[in-house]
Amino acid sequence: MKKDKTNKIRNVSKEQWLSQALDTLEVGGVEAIKIERLAKALGTSKSGFYWHFNNRQDLLEHLLDFWVREYTGVVTNNPDITKLEPEMRLLAIMRAIRDQKLAKFDLAMSFWAKIDDNVRKVVDNVVKMRLDYLRTLFAELGFTEDELEMRVRLFLCYHTWEDAMFPDLSNQKYSILQNIRHRFFIRK
Which residues are within 8 A (CB) of 130 and not within 5 positions of it... i.e. 6 or more apart? 72, 76, 156
Give the predicted TM-score (pTM) of the model: 0.89
* Amino acid letter for position 165: M
The tens digit of pLDDT for each residue in 94-152 reads 999 999 999 999 999 999 999 999 999 999 999 999 999 999 999 999 999 999 999 99
Residues of the chain with pLDDT > 70: what percent? 95
Residue 143 has phi, psi (to 5 degrees) of -90, 145
Q: What are phi and psi of 11, to 5 degrees?
A: -75, 145
Q: Report the alpha-carbon distance of residue 71 to residue 52 in Å, rounded.
A: 21
Q: How far apart (Å, rounded) are the C-alpha atoms in residues 3 and 181?
A: 48
Q: Which fold has domain 1-53?
A: Arc Repressor Mutant, subunit A (1.10.10)
